[in-house]
Structure 1
Amino acid sequence: MMDQETNTELADTIELDGNGPIYRQIERAVRAEIMSGRWPAGHRIPSEHTLLEKFSTTRATVSKALSKLTEAGLLERRRKQGTRVAQTTESHAVIGYLDIRQDIEAKGRTYAYRVVGSSVIIAGADTSVWPEVEAGTPLLRLHAVHSGFGKPEVLEERLISLQAAPDAVDADFETETPNIWLLARLPCTRLRHTIRAEIATAAQAAQLGVAANAPLLVSLRQTWADAMPVTWVKLIYPADRNEFVGEFNPLQP
């Protein structure tokens, strides 16, 4: 059985975004923990009592939020056994993501995320990098920098479909990064991830503090919610101080 200290520690990791009804905020916060993989299948989530105390709300409000997630297939609620992350999320697949903040903070550096460019465009010939999105779809285009101790570590180029996430145009992504914001609102049911090498352009070299034509590691990711394209993102890393590591154990389910 989960002890009170562990229960409270788990609750301490989630925060509300302050937007809209409290039950919706709790729903988004819990969904983000699940979709990010921080709360894996079978994980027992904090009790209703712990959540209502943390967020100074009522049991009915917490219950409504958890019921919505249960209906979505993300949680399993069993009498006297607590609430756990569903072993299967049906069409709501939980897919891990690159946690840049965690990587930077693991090196002992203070993390910061800064949006350096933002505009709304219409999908067409100039968005050929994302052919899966229909022509005419409104897109939010972002350019951002992930930094450690004020030093740029990763450059981000991102497109978000405003058909899938219309509220993204008004989001404060310097408070909550696009990854976390999207995972809290939409299921990630499909992901395509490509890693390739590129040579730094003059602009990229200047931003990252590397030599012109220095080697870069580039992560290209596209996500869908069911059949709807949600986001396309290009993450650009200096090759000499980064690596991607994956682990697979065929003996584990």
Structure 2
Amino acid sequence: MTEDVKAKSLHERILGEVEGRILSGEWPPGHRIPFEHELTEHYACSRMTVNKALSELVKKGLIERRRRSGSFVTRPQVQSLVMEIHDIPREVQALGLDYEYRLISSEERPCRKNDRQRLDLPEGAPVLEITASHLAGGLPFCLEERLINLDAVPDAASADFSIQPPGSWLLGQVPWSAAEHRIRAIPADKRTADALDLAPGTACLVIERRTWSTEAHITQVRLTYPGERHELVAQFSPSQA
């Protein structure tokens, strides 16, 4: 085997093994990977071969290099199109991370006066209030707080949301004709910080969405993401004035 072929094989081996440990969750976000000289000794190869493999991982967005500190596994980064309704499990799986869902609470109750800001229903109308968390690679990814109009979606009352996320269930069961997005930044209060494993006051991105069918409001959801792990993208073309 020539030196060039040997170096290429080692480069691919290093790249594959480090990438595999990151995507499997063995090396979670924030984990410092071995220094270049440690990898050089472990694989018995040149520093250039190791550097080339790590540079490719940087390009893939899997690691970041910090001067004088080493290389670290990056936090999951998600890009969402502003004008689309995304299924959170698919967003996480698209990152190559394991998805988990945890139902925090579910309560069927009458619509309250202060709910009118979230879902335009008469006071006393039946709603289902759901709070849940979504995880990516074992780490908190998003906090979901949702109201569902049970007059418009009566089957939601008997659905098992301890197993399936309500957003995924609604996308598969209920046709919608219009949606509204509101986007803002907030500092995490204690409840949100605890749910997302953040320090209180950490900047978070909140997406509030209401959806309608032709006849009635269907649902309103508030999705809260750690600000550093999520960004929104809008695609548009020149106006046809």
Smaller-chain TM-score bracket: 0.5 to 0.7
Select 2:124's aligned residue among 131, 136, 146: 136
What stretches of structure 2 of length at least 5 have no aligned partner? 1-82
Question: Counterpart amino acid of 1:204?
Answer: T
Shift of 1:114: 1.5
C-alpha distance 199-190 of structure 1, shift in aligned 2 (>3 A): same
Partners in 2 of 1:98 and 1:183 — Cα distance? 9
Partners in 1 of 2:102 and 2:117 — Cα distance? 23
Partners in 1 of 2:119 and 2:101 — Cα distance? 28
Shift of 1:244: 1.0
C-alpha distance 156-140 of structure 1, shift in aligned 2 (>3 A): same
1:164 aligns with 2:152: yes
Counterpart in the other structure of 2:223: 235
- Give the count of matched residue pairs: 158
Counterpart in the other structure of 1:116: 104
- CA deviation string 1:124-147 (max 9, x = no partner): 224133251122210000000010
TM-score, normalization by structure 2: 0.61
1:176 aligns with 2:164: yes
Alignment of 1:242-253 (within 5 A): 242-250=230-238
Counterpart in the other structure of 1:186: 174
Alignment of 1:54-65 (within 5 A): none
Partners in 2 of 1:176 and 1:170 — Cα distance? 12
- Paired residue secondary structure (2:176): coil
Alignment of 1:27-42 (within 5 A): none
Q: CA RMSD in A?
A: 2.0
Counterpart in the other structure of 1:100: 88
Identity %: 36
- CA deviation string 1:27-50 (max 9, x = no partner): xxxxxxxxxxxxxxxxxxxxxxxx
Partners in 1 of 2:188 and 2:204 — Cα distance? 6
Partners in 1 of 2:107 and 2:237 — Cα distance? 43
Question: Counterpart amino acid of 1:149?
Answer: G
Partners in 1 of 2:90 and 2:238 — Cα distance? 26
TM-score, normalization by structure 1: 0.58
Question: Counterpart amino acid of 2:200?
Answer: A
Counterpart in the other structure of 1:222: 210
Counterpart in the other structure of 1:205: 193
1:147 aligns with 2:135: yes
**Residues 204, 225 of structure 2: 8 Å contact kept:** yes
Shift of 1:186: 2.2
Shift of 1:116: 0.7
Partners in 2 of 1:195 and 1:178 — Cα distance? 21
Partners in 1 of 2:134 and 2:226 — Cα distance? 12
Shift of 1:98: 2.2
Shift of 1:174: 4.0
User: Which has more radius of gyration?
Assistant: 2
C-alpha distance 107-131 of structure 1, shift in aligned 2 (>3 A): closer
Partners in 2 of 1:210 and 1:196 — Cα distance? 18
**Residues 180, 211 of structure 2: 8 Å contact kept:** yes
Mean Cα deviation higher: 152-161 or 109-118: 109-118
C-alpha distance 233-131 of structure 1, shift in aligned 2 (>3 A): closer
Alignment of 1:48-87 (within 5 A): none
Which protein, 1 or 2, shows the higher relative CO under an 8 Å CA cutoff with sep ≥ 6?
Answer: 2
C-alpha distance 203-124 of structure 1, shift in aligned 2 (>3 A): closer
Which segments of structure 1 move beyond 3 Å, counting only runs of 4 or more? none
